[in-house]
Chains A and B, each alone.
Chain A
């Protein structure tokens, strides 16, 4: 801490702090324009000139660091004149079009001129013409308003690491634009430049002319697009969400957002939203009242329970619901219906990672947090494609890499994060397990394990050694395409880490043997001592924002709230006591088992919340068939989905913007959301629907609001500290050699001769699930999917950019547009999973995990040919 004097006031500030910040702390305002706390000092606008004793000239407070005995004056006639002068310079060309400028009311320049400006303009010369470009789908560029603070350019480089924006030309001709020229930004569209622009030079097309900033209501809440759990505020007016804004110092995202978060809000007020309950009469869905709809549901459920028992009913809930919704849903299913047949979207793969973590570390929250990622010194990212799936988590990785952390990126194709990687390893698709085992083998053979671990768990290491005995580096090299040296280098880098984090992506968890692979990676953590609970472990990425919460709240047949074991009578009793009603002891069914149950006639009714199996499962699969076989199907959703069309009753649910509650992000951080607008139409928050239904089912669960549910959740979860989990790792390493060998089985993937290409479906940056497809912003940037194909493959098939390709396999054929890129290896194809049409998903088959019953349907084998259009 140093002591300095500002305007005769003694101020204490940390050494090296910028003078602007120190003054702000002391409540002294120094005007700034180009300064932004998130960015490096720049000193361009010269508005913050102050007088510092012993300095010959006025100094800029935004570039000067405080030191002891500094004497600063921020108010004097000299400084006032300088400020006026600088503002005059900034304003020389600035068009005084505030009445039609979108920034009016929150414009930093407007505020400054109002406070410090001279009130009239002396500049009477010609005004130069600058680029006004409104061709970009989302961002309007009106450079006559630009004050050349370069905040946008700097945030793009320093914070986002994208370096897409640049300043070109010189002096007063300086203009801002995309580095590659042209009027389309063609970047990640994170919108940081729009958010940070102090004037109206960069504005959002989606918000344009919608409202003045003072007319909107601001509600702080959490984004629902992925597991990062970014904090933002919704600005609303007359029940409509108009835009998303952030504060640089709030939330895990620290003000950054991805394109989905920033521009993907308009699904909330989409006209296609379900607004009333619907009931199927004959073959058509007709509007009905809530009372009637819930009555019918309760009646039918009761009848089915009477005739077929409670286990003839099953429920599936999405990971987009709040913890309160999910908690109440599983309570409804377990107590009001009386079955454990309940599952969530986490069954698509996230459960693999969570089950593995519970197995090894226990139910304590032990994964790495986003902050740990940002502070890590070695990051091992495995098939994560993190910058596209979880962009803000990706940002932390980028930041760590920029800071000097060693990033090892392994994936089946060249992903964006590889740009920042010290070691970029592109492994052959289907050989992920060989790669992971190679890493462990390298650690064992090179003696890279932690000495303490070696002493404590000698037997475990010996077992691992024998489990991996048959595996040779030659085999690994032919399978993965990665040389022995590279694998050893990667293992060396990871094992020497003081703070090593493994980022586990969908490429592992959403695939066959995802559970085993997760366990293998945890073994690697244990071996290298990177699992001490101090932010050095494993971070599984989750796609839906509350998948973690879904599992933790007990929306899985094997788990009760608090990750307790539903199969264990003692653990069931803990919860039963709190609930005051016995939890059914019969083992519940997982998602694939539910659908199989339907086919076998065991399951008669299905209650689906926010999930759309008819739209996600391949049409030829048995599961799709199962949906049509159901006696009674209730669908609860925001939008009329393909599944809704098959439903007997459709209930309109409220989106996250219309309800209170909490989301738990992938680091296990529960965050509050607040209702920004009233529910759209007659829609209701999910928990209210469950409450209403439970009452009619004869087991009333009445809560005043979401907070009351949260209180109960807290009570339930508090009581689940388990004695036997105290030394979870110690228990885990006692695993027998036989089990361990099973964990290290590798299944060969056979490429069918007729279908020589492996097709993978996966997430892309601009979309998330199907929800973003209802939002204007993401659709404007990426309206349709394109099949990524290697140039050599395209050459061989005679396909050129802009062509359509015909994908064929036993399940059918699909025409898709093609994007030729060398970022995908030969023999592999990639298509975004978000688009309903063309229905590429129909080519896939459902694959069920042996261990966790997770169902995968995101990859298949196809033959490709050029589609010749008929004329």
Chain B
């Protein structure tokens, strides 16, 4: 259905990074970009020096707060605020966690940073650690990014050698350690409290909030959890100042943003643009339009858990507020484009199958609800659906909405609800005419 894994072809030159903005992805296409020397030559670790020498930790927090940087993991929480909460907690040691568990289907924005420019991330992490007074940082990287984890480990070793990590960094009274921890393959561990549980060696399930991780996090210590892309922004903010950062994009959420475009476009890939780039531009200007001259049928704007948009709705700026206004979410900025050959019932079923597989099983609505929905969708796609099934599904979704333990269950119902809302006719064709709306005679095509 959607070509998610183009980046698998690692041996080839990475043609899927497009650094239109030249900030986060500026080093990507340099030869030997993962080496610390390359990074240093390009002015690397200058901002770390600047932060440590010119600013107190509180200054750094103020600068980040002033820049208006918001978390790039999907929730869009102001980063400076989060740091302030953690730094205010007297309990020590504090920890920084880097969330590199990039599990949202359609999202691969962190991957170029990890695999091609690890030092940018490491520099951001050290500055952030300095700001919140953390003793150590753990990069929780998804198990599938084994190559990325290796790259990071090598880069960390280099940074230790150069004295950017370890004891008395740059001669300052600041000790900081950095570790890489590989996840074992659970989508839910991208959720911050489940990530903490997993890091502690427990079953990957969300914790009760409050208390929030900023106060009671990993090993019950104050913990800040930031996304890879968020942390990659830090060194640039320190280097160029918060005002520079604010010039990019909308006032409420400024800054560069990497959009992962996938699906039926001519040029799928990662695009670094400014926050608030119109979705239409993403598809037609940067993505090169729909493959084979076909028509656009639907877009998922922010990863699998965000509601589907219809072609009429793509006149929207890609920032948290604007996408929210048209009834979807920016999420991780993973734009999945689908042309007219796609059966939307099949899409809903495939996505639900993912969520049912990834539901951790802690709370009953998510555990049983997702599974139940998959089974109903299985029947509809196999042309064995009943007309009551649509109402049943809506009722199941209603019983799940806002009642699950963590956001996974809330996100899981979005594909079903939005496809029923926008493409109810396709469900009806499957149920009443017992055929696929896009012309497949055999329903396996939708499975």
A residues with CB within 8 A of B = 41-46, 49, 56-58, 63, 81-82, 85-86, 88-90, 92-93, 122-123, 125-126, 147-148, 150, 166-167, 169-174
Are A172's CB and B367's CB within 8 A?
Answer: yes
B249 CB, min distance to chain A CBs, angstroms: 27
Is the Cβ of B399 less than 8 Å from the Cβ of A88? yes
Which of B9-17, B260-268, B356-364 has 4 or more CB atoms under 8 Å from chain A?
Answer: B356-364
Given the contacts A43-B363, A123-B372, A125-B372, A171 and B358 also touching, CB distance less than 8 Å: yes
A171 contacts which of B365, B367, B379, B395 (Cβ < 8 Å)? B367
B186 CB–A CB distance under 8 Å: yes
With A58-B403, A82-B403, A170-B186 known as contacts, the answer to whether A41 contacts B365 (CB < 8 A) is no
Query: When the two chains form their complex, are residues B364 and A90 in contact, meaning their CB atoms are under 8 A apart?
Result: yes
Contacts of B399 in A (CB 8 A): 81-82, 85-86, 88-89
A871 shortest CB reach to chain B, Å: 51
Set of chain A residues within 8 Å of B362, measured between Cβ atoms: 42-44, 148, 150
24 A/B residue pairs, CB under 8 Å, sorted by A:
A43-B208, A43-B362, A45-B363, A58-B403, A85-B398, A85-B400, A86-B364, A86-B365, A86-B403, A88-B399, A89-B368, A90-B368, A92-B368, A123-B372, A125-B376, A148-B361, A148-B367, A167-B203, A167-B361, A169-B361, A170-B358, A172-B371, A173-B361, A174-B367
Interface string of B391-419 (1 = CB under 8 A from A): 01001101110111100000000000000
Interface string of B356-388 (1 = CB under 8 A from A): 111111111101111110011001000000000
Bound-complex Cα distance A147 to B358 (A)? 18
Chain A nearest Cβ from B444, distance in angstroms: 19
Name the CB-closest residue of B to A56: B402
Pair A93/B403 contact, Cβ less than 8 Å = no
Chain B residues near A171: list those with CB within 8 A: 356-361, 367, 370-371
Using Cβ atoms and an 8 Å threshold, which residues of chain A touch B398?
Answer: 85
- Separation in Å of the A46 CB from the closest CB of chain B? 5
* B364 x A126 contact (CB < 8 A): no
In the assembly, what is the distance between CA of A43 and CA of B359, in Å?
15
Name which residue of chain B comes closest to A82, CB basis. B403
Complex Cα distance, B148 from A712, in Å, reads: 81
Contacts of B208 in A (CB 8 A): 41-43, 63
Expressed in whole angstroms, the minimum distance between the Cβ of A63 and any Cβ of chain B is 5
Given contacts A41-B208, A89-B369, A172-B359, 5 further A-B contacts (CB under 8 A): A85-B365, A89-B365, A125-B372, A126-B375, A172-B371
Contact (Cβ within 8 A) A89 B375? no
When distances are taken between beta carbons in the complex, the residues of chain A under 8 Å from B396 are 85
Bound state CA distance, A172 and B361, in angstroms?
Answer: 6
Q: Which residue of A lies closest to B188 (CB)?
A: A170
Chain B proximity of A552: nearest CB distance (Å): 46
| B363, B396, B404: most-surrounded residue (chain A CB, <10 A) | B363
> Which chain B residue has the least Cβ–Cβ distance from A166?
B203
Distance from A402 Cβ to chain B, minimum over Cβ atoms (Å): 14
From A44, A125, A172, contact of B405 by CB (8 A)? A44
Contact B364 A89 (CB under 8 A): yes
Are B363 and A44 neighbours in the complex by a CB distance under 8 Å? Answer: yes
B203 pairs with A46, CB closer than 8 A = no
Which B residues touch A85, using CB under 8 A? 365, 395-396, 398-400, 403
Chain A residue nearest in CB terms to B402: A57
Rounded to whole angstroms, the CA-CA distance of A126 and B375 in the bound complex is 8
Question: What is the size, in residues, of chain B's interface with A at 8 Å between Cβ atoms?
Answer: 32
Complex: chain A residue closest to B206, CB-CB: A43
Residues of A within 8 Å of B203, CB to CB, are 166-167
Query: Sorted from nearest, which 10 A-B pairs have the closest CB atoms?
Result: A85-B399, A174-B361, A125-B375, A171-B359, A89-B368, A57-B402, A89-B364, A172-B371, A92-B368, A171-B361
| Chain A, residue nearest B361 (CB) | A174
| Contact present for B368 and A46 (CB under 8 Å) | no
| B-side contacts of A170, CB under 8 Å | 186, 357-361
Docked CA distance A88–B376 (Å) = 16
- CB neighbours (8 Å) of B376 from chain A are 125
Point out the residues of chain A lying under 8 angstroms from B358, CB to CB: 170-171
B69 to chain A, nearest CB (A): 25
Q: How far is the CB of B209 from chain A (nearest CB, A)?
A: 9
Closest CB-CB distance, A429 to chain B, in whole Å? Answer: 37
Chain B residues within an 8 Å CB radius of A49: 403
Complex Cα gap A43–B367 (Å) = 13
- Asked whether, in the complex, the Cβ of B367 is within 8 Å of the Cβ of A89, the reply is yes
Question: Given the complex of chains A and B, what is the CA–CA distance between A838 and B409 in angstroms?
Answer: 60
- Chain B contacts for A148, CB-based, 8 A: 361-362, 364, 367
Residues of A contacting B379 with CB < 8 Å?
125
- State how many angstroms separate the Cβ of B121 from the closest Cβ of chain A: 29
* Chain B residues with CB under 8 A of A93: 368
Known A-B contacts A123-B372, A126-B375, A171-B357; the reply to A45 vs B403 at CB < 8 A is no
A46 and B372 contacting across the interface, CB-CB below 8 Å: no
In the complex the two chains form, what is the Cα distance from A43 to B357 in whole Å? 21
Complex Cα gap A300–B262 (Å) = 102
A168 to chain B: closest residue by CB: B203
CA distance A736 to B366 in the complex (A): 75
CB-based contact B405/A46 at 8 Å: yes
Cα distance A41–B206 in the bound complex, in angstroms:
13
- Distance A123 CA – B361 CA, assembled complex (angstroms): 18
A89: which B residues are within 8 A, CB to CB? 364-365, 367-369, 372, 399
Chain B residues closer than 8 Å to A169, beta-carbon distance:
361
- A77 CB to closest chain B CB (Å) equals 13
A88: chain B residues at CB < 8 Å are: 399
Q: How far is A174 from B203 in the complex, measured between Cα atoms in Å?
A: 11
Cα distance A38–B362 when bound, in Å? 19
Q: Which residues of B lie under 8 Å from residue A58 when comparing CB positions? A: 402-403
Shortest distance in angstroms between A142's beta carbon and chain B's nearest beta carbon? Answer: 18
Name the one of B367, B369, B371, B403 contacting A57, with C-beta atoms under 8 angstroms: B403
A123 to B356, CA, bound (A): 16
Chain A proximity of B272: nearest CB distance (Å): 34
Residue of B nearest to A172 (CB): B371
Chain B residues whose CB sits within 8 angstroms of the CB of A45 once the complex forms = 363-364
Which residues of the other chain, B, contact A46 by a CB distance below 8 angstroms?
363-365, 403-405
On chain B, the residues within 8 Å of A166 by CB distance are 203
B212 to chain A, nearest CB (A): 14
Q: Is A43's CB under 8 angstroms from B356's CB?
A: no
User: How far apart are A47's CB and chain B's nearest CB, in angstroms?
Assistant: 8
Question: CB distance A122 to B392 under 8 Å?
Answer: yes
**Centre residue among A42, A43, A169, A172 by max chain B CB count within 10 A:** A172
B197 to chain A, nearest CB (A): 13
Contacts of B375 in A (CB 8 A): 125-126
- The complex places the Cα of A90 from the Cα of B362 at a distance, in Å, of 12
Closest to B369 in A: A89
Q: Give complex CA distance A420, B365 in Å.
A: 38
- CB neighbours (8 Å) of B405 from chain A are 43-44, 46
Kindly state the separation between the CA atoms of A41 and B379 in the bound complex, as whole angstroms.
38
Closest partner residue, chain B, to A88 (CB atom): B399
For A86, the chain B residues whose CB sits under 8 A away are: 364-365, 399, 403
* Most chain A CB atoms below 10 A, which of B203, B208, B368: B368
Residues of B within 8 A of A167 (CB): 203, 361
Chain B, range 195-229, C-beta contacts under 8 Å to A: 203, 208
How far is A46 from B208 in the complex, measured between Cα atoms in Å?
Answer: 12
Q: In the complex the two chains form, what is the Cα distance from A31 to B208 in whole Å? A: 19
Residue of B with least CB distance to A126: B375
A304 to B208, CA, bound (A): 76
Chain A residues near B372 (CB-CB < 8 A): 89, 92, 123, 125
Cβ contacts under 8 Å, A42 to chain B: 208, 362
- Whole-angstrom CA separation of A89 from B367 in the bound complex: 8
A148 to B367 alpha-carbon distance, docked (Å): 10
- Min CB gap A663→B, angstroms: 41
Rounded to whole Å, the gap between the CB of A656 and the closest CB of chain B is 42
Name the residue of chain A whose CB is nearest to the CB of B360: A170
Kindly list chain A residues whose C-beta atoms are within 8 Å of the C-beta of B371: 92, 171-172
Interface residues of B in 324-383 (CB under 8 A from A): 356-365, 367-372, 375-376, 379
**B204's closest neighbor in chain A, by CB?**
A170
Q: Tell me, rounded to whole Å, the shortest Cβ–Cβ distance linking B196 to chain A.
A: 16
